[in-house]
Structure 1
Amino acid sequence: MLALGAAASAAEPIRIGMIDGLSGPFANAGQAVVRNLNYAIEQVNARGGVKLPDGRHPLELVTYDNKQGVEEALTGLRHFADQHIHFIAQGNSSAVALALSEAIEKHNSRVPDQRMLLLNYAAVDPALTNEKCSFWHFRFDANSDMRMNALTEVIKTDRSARRVYLIGQDYSFGQHLAKVARAQLAAKRPDIAIVGDDLHPIGKIKDFSPYVAKIRASGADTVITGNWGNDLTLLVKAARDAGLNIKFYTFYGNSLGAPAAIGDAGVGRVRAVAEWHPNAGQGASDSASDAYYRAFRRRYPQSEQDYVHLRMHLMIDMLAGAIEKAGSSDALAVAKALEGAVFRNAFHEASMRAADHQLQQPLYVSVMRKVADGSVQFDNEGSGYGFRTERYLPTSFSALPTSCRMQRPR
């Protein structure tokens, strides 16, 4: 842990309460987020913490394991409310995010002197910044419509993609993703046939071979999936074991064991979309992106710890900046300071859209490559496989309209 200055270490910490699955089938995803948030917090604290009128305050992460359940998450929210924690971080489930957003809205109306903010680093259901938007919710990840828009932009020019199979997790995110995939493909590639559309229970399937058999029988040449965590790893492993060498367009195929599970079958075939990836700097000798990635790997050197997402670091940095701008850790003041806030470093720029609290930032679609071939510098999780930029989509392209009609506090 990086040391704090004496003044900051003596001050009352500003606590961030993280509610997410830290045990069960998605424990690896939750623990990876803890590492990323702690890393970002260390960066803020290393420069003295957050400056307020009464001095500098360190940030501190407090975690609650909701076991990936909605009711457990709401229990965690009450737990943090009792501790007067104003900032709640969550992401690994849109169903949980929707429940927390609604609960925080009610809490803030009932207890206006103890308001809370929801900082969303990964829950990508578009409803959260559209018809179910909340003043108290801020999303720092691209939503699923934005991600799918990027993937289908690549599919649009992929003339070998003719028969597409959709597979996803059976909850709000997966259900919406299937609908938007159909709509975007119809608009961009009306010649493509959707030959299958499956939703499976989230976190409960141990053997995906029956699903892979259905994909094979459909004659699909391309799979689109928003699966994450072990649901993605087990799916692609089953496809590899069955010798099903077709293309995968994924949201999260570049992390949490997926590259190693896919192996050589994924080279040139598996694509992922994200706001950044380790090889985004293209190996230039003066690449700030490369330096950023190397710094994270020095902090977390084990292969299984190699899960780094810029959006989580960006979220903490923007929160710290908003608290300083507001001159207070009051949730209402910080929310107003976050609206329109800009993040900028040497290789990335993003801004928080005030209309819906959806972060606007570029997106990368990258394709899996083998490090030994010399086409990428960094691999993922020690797998020997990394991802190379195939398409860079600037903010002007990745931004989408919103239907949010936000109710603002008086």
Structure 2
Amino acid sequence: MRNITVEEFRASCAAAQQLEIVERKGMGHPDSICDAVMDNISVRLSEEYLQEFGEILHHNIDKCLLVAGEVTGIFGGGMVTHPMLLVIGDRATFSAEGKDIDVNSIAVDTAGRWFDENLRFVEPEFLDYQVELKPGSAELTDIFRRKEKMLGSNDTSAAVGYAPLSFTEKMVLDTEKYLNSPDFKEKYPESGEDIKVMGVRKDSDLDLTVAMPVVDRFLDSEEHYFRVKEDLTDAINTFIADYVEENKVSMDVTFSLNNLDMPGRGMNGIYTTVTGTSAEDADCGQVGRGNRVNGIIPLNRPVSSEAAAGKNPVSHVGKIYNALSHRIADRIYTAVPDVEEAYVWLLSDIGAPIDRPKVAAAQIIMKKGSVESVQDEVTEVIDRELENIGEFTMELARGMVPLY
């Protein structure tokens, strides 16, 4: 029997609280770039290990620094004067069973592919790479050699997940996804990818602050910038109105775009970009400083402290439990009647099988009825998801579970 506990969560659900603050860092934000690139490297390495050895070997590609470069912005198209630097670090398996794996080349090639597929205006020459990957420690590497049916955890780590997202959380998440969608970029190619959305709800009033650079190659003057800004503002207003109507909520949603703009100061007073990301000259990035694994930074919620992106998907509970806690919470919310909100806590014990956490706990807010009346159903959901954790880890290994 697994050590599973279920109790009442003695607090109001997030949507009923007077104040909510939620942030979303978009695809082109330097922190999001680091998360995405490093997890793509883990996925690619996992694929290589499976192909060569039939199993995923030890690696943790979760230390990364994106060092900002330098640019000169000019109406009609600026230039990169000093490239960005992507530092890729931590641990990997470089050889096994007499075979070598070119880990460094895989890392650089994967990073280059990600930039090519996701940031339209970042050319290969705009990036330098510094790979600082080394072999893992003997004890942690040995976990993978023990050939046990269920690998042991390679860390003592806690995670928490919840469901469902509140309307504020969904609105912030979906606004950024819309602004970085292929359809939006086709219609407004001048909009950069480094988008940040901050949502603040006070009672039934939700205010969104959106930062979205305009790519300078599409501009011929300061006046042109402000005309483009008006078009983008209209598009966002239309999206917000449609979103509120589709979700049938009684909420007054307002927003502002690029609040630092000041007419009359030329390039110094407007938010432009050469490459679409502020990593070109304004902001460095790092793994774990961006969105949580459910895609947002929810200040009202308990959140996990681990950076999930890049960790190995089969033994590192900092990745597995981080994502699995949200999935279990969602399964409880959707499968168990009358649950209004669910929080799931998982705690590993280093060396113990990952399907046997030291703590597996659910905290439940009910719409009606008692937690005691659904305790067995909640326990069954948790037990089933832990029983199938092997399938879940392979979803992580294939990059099928969003983490940022």
Report the TM-score range of the alignment, normalised by the length of the smaller protein. under 0.3
Computing the radius of gyration over CA atoms, which structure comes out larger, 1 or 2? 2
Structure that is richer in helix per residue: 1
Greater strand share, structure number: 2
What's the TM-score, normalizing by structure 1?
A: 0.25
The structure showing larger relative contact order (alpha-carbon pairs under 8 Å, at least 6 residues apart) is 2
